[in-house]
């Protein structure tokens, strides 16, 4: 409305009437407007009359339909924060570069294909967000922004970064997620203030070396094409607490990783790592270690599922056994059995293991079950076959079996026979075609860990809410659309909940009340909040943020 622009100039209507004014209504003493918030409307343009509000320090017009900005913005010399994100801007007026006090410029989610060359003139700028635009390059003058603390370039079409960025001596957070970067300029490694660097979803083949980044706390480089992790990439990163390298092609981890004494989270999931340096077990702060989806030869699958602390304990025990370096033969596991006969009696009698995996079989041969006889079998591994149903004779093992792996098959439903395995503690059904779980699973009162990743669940299986012993639910890579935080809060022992890569459009704030959760993984869902920056801070921060959003 036009009178908004004139709010400093026009006398209010009541002044026309002959009234006696109380102290609160002395309109002639009012100060000039300093904040104007017009967010989430349908404005297609802003009037040049914005110049009639010279005292503005904050102008927020995010989430409108603006295709351009008025050049009069350049006259708002007190402006400190300008938020024009979530509009349809294709360019910025040159006059914008005349704002001497501007500290925060938010331009994310527009249609910008370039930034003005003179962007470096905004010398007071501390925060610049140009994510989710169509940028193919960054003007070199950006390097002059020596007070910039946060720079977000995510989700553009950048093929490289200007090496002059290294001059930004105050920069603490740099986000280059989801671009087309094939390399990172080596000079970037001299940025002494950098604390968080996001390089996820690019085309990097290697990590840069970071000789000067003594303060770097978080390095996120997942979903690239990194094949080699060199000692040189790591050894200077004394402050690093989060190293995220999942979904790359890394084949080995150097012994020097044990130099990262402050490391708390190490994510190496879905790489090509076949063996780990046992010295990893000596990292004193490590709380989260993800290794799933690697062809590890020396570590048994059931050990991977027992969680980080058990795994580190195992690695430490190997250092003592092992002397100087990990040169031992891999232990006998479900993958390397001493006899290649169809039925491995040694495995059944000594290891209490019934194993028929990686055979691409449509059914389990009867002689496997016949061979068990009266032997108590604790572990069943029928993974990596072509099974379309749970083998019915599995029920014969109900008095002893506690760990069943039917991952990587084509099973579409869980049978009632399985629901009678009342001693079950571990159940692995990853990479099948399940869409639901039967109510009868309530009988599995000892079940601690269930892996349902890479199936076809569209809803969170409600029977899980009624399994009192559950400690770990792995449900990533499904199509789950919602969760019930009230029922989850009732699950006293639940410590790990992995819902990555699902269809959650909304994270209920009440989930923050589930204070037993030690690991909550929500990345890769289409919700808007919490933002990625909060997710990156880890579970405790996410839960605290959610609690703060609960309506009072």
Q: Which domains does the chain have, with CATH numbers?
A: 345-548 (3.80.10.10)
pLDDT of residue 330: 38
The share of the chain scoring above pLDDT 90, in percent, equals 68
More reliable by pLDDT, 432 or 310: 432
Compute the distance between CA of residue 308 and CA of residue 432 in angstroms, rounded to an integer. 26
Which of 99, 84, 103, 82 shows the shortest CA–CA distance to 35? Answer: 82
135-145 burial, b for 16+ CB within 10 Å, e for fewer? beebbebbbbb
Q: Which DSSP helix (H) or strand (E) runs through 303?
A: helix 301-304
pLDDT of residue 341: 44
The torsion angles phi and psi of 546, rounded to 5 degrees, stand at -65, -40
Which of 245, 255, 253 shows the shortest CA–CA distance to 290? Answer: 245
Compute the distance between CA of residue 494 and CA of residue 235 in angstroms, rounded to an integer. 36
Q: Which tokens in the block code for residue 205? A: 């083949």
pLDDT at residue 138 greater than cutoff 60: yes
| Helix, strand counts (H, E) of the chain | 9, 20
Q: Mind listing the pLDDT tens digit for each residue in 265-281? A: 999 999 999 888 888 98
1 contact partners, CB below 8 Å, separation of at least 6: none
pTM strictly above 0.85:
no
pLDDT of residue 136: 96
pLDDT of residue 187: 80
Q: Which DSSP helix (H) or strand (E) runs through 313?
A: helix 308-322
Compute the distance between CA of residue 522 and CA of residue 499 in angstroms, rounded to an integer. 5
CB 146 within 8 A of CB 166: no
Q: Mind listing the pLDDT tens digit for each residue in 437-465? A: 999 999 999 999 999 999 999 999 999 99
Residue with tokens 């993800």: 290
CB 124 within 8 A of CB 103: yes
Compute the distance between CA of residue 169 and CA of residue 213 in angstroms, rounded to an integer. 11
């Amino acid at each position: 409305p036009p009178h908004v622009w004139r709010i400093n100039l026009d006398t209010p209507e009541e002044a026309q009437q002959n009234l006696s004014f109380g102290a609160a209504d002395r309109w002639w003493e009012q100060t000039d407007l300093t904040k104007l918030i017009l967010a989430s409307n349908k404005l297609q343009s802003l009037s040049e009359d914005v110049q009639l509000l010279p005292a503005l320090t904050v102008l927020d017009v995010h989430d409108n339909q603006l295709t351009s900005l008025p050049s009069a913005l350049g006259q708002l010399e007190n402006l400190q924060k300008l938020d024009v994100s979530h509009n349809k801007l294709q360019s910025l007026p040159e006059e914008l570069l005349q704002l001497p006090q501007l500290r925060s410029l938010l331009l994310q989610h527009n249609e910008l294909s370039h930034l003005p060359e003179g962007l470096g003139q905004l010398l007071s700028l501390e925060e610049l967000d140009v994510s989710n635009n169509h940028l193919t390059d960054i003007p070199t003058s950006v390097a002059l922004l020596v007070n910039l603390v946060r720079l977000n370039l995510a989700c553009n079409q950048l093929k490289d970064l200007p090496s002059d960025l290294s001059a930004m001596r105050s920069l603490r957070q740099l986000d280059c997620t989801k671009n087309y970067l094939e390399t990172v300029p080596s000079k970037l490694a001299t940025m002494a203030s950098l604390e968080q660097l996001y390089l996820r979803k690019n085309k990097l083949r290697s990590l840069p070396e970071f000789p000067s980044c003594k303060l770097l706390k978080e390095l996120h480089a997942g979903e690239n094409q990194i094949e080699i992790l060199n000692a040189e990439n790591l050894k200077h990163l004394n402050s690093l607490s989060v190293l995220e390298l999942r979904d790359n092609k890394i084949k080995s981890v150097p012994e020097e990783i044990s130099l990262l004494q402050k490391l708390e989270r190490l994510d190496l999931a879905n790489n090509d790592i076949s063996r780990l340096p046992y010295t990893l077990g000596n990292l004193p702060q490590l709380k989260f270690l993800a290794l799933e989806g690697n062809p590890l030869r020396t570590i048994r699958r059931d050990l991977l599922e027992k969680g980080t602390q058990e795994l580190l304990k195992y690695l430490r025990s190997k250092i003592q056994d092992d002397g100087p370096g990990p040169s031992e033969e891999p232990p006998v596991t479900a993958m390397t059995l001493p006899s290649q006969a169809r039925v491995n009696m040694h495995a059944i009698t000594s290891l209490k293991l019934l194993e028929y995996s990686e055979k691409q079989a449509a059914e389990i041969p009867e002689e496997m079950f016949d061979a068990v006889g009266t032997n108590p079998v604790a572990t069943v591994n029928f993974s990596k076959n072509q099974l379309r149903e749970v083998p019915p004779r599995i029920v014969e093992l109900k008095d002893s079996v506690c760990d069943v792996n039917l991952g990587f098959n084509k099973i579409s439903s869980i049978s009632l026979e399985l629901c009678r395995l009342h001693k079950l503690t571990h159940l692995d059904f990853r990479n099948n075609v399940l869409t639901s779980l039967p109510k009868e699973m309530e009988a599995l009162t000892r079940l601690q860990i269930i892996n349902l990743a890479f199936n076809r669940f569209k809803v969170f299986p409600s029977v899980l809410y009624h399994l009192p012993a559950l400690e770990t639910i792995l449900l990533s890579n499904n199509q789950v659309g919602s969760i019930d935080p009230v029922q989850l809060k009732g699950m006293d022992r639940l410590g790990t909940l992995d819902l990555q890569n699902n269809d959650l459009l909304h994270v209920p704030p009440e989930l923050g009340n589930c204070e037993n959760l030690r690991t909550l993984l929500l990345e890769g869902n289409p919700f808007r909040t919490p933002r990625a920056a909060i997710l990156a801070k880890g579970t405790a921060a996410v839960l605290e943020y959610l609690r703060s959003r609960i309506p009072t």
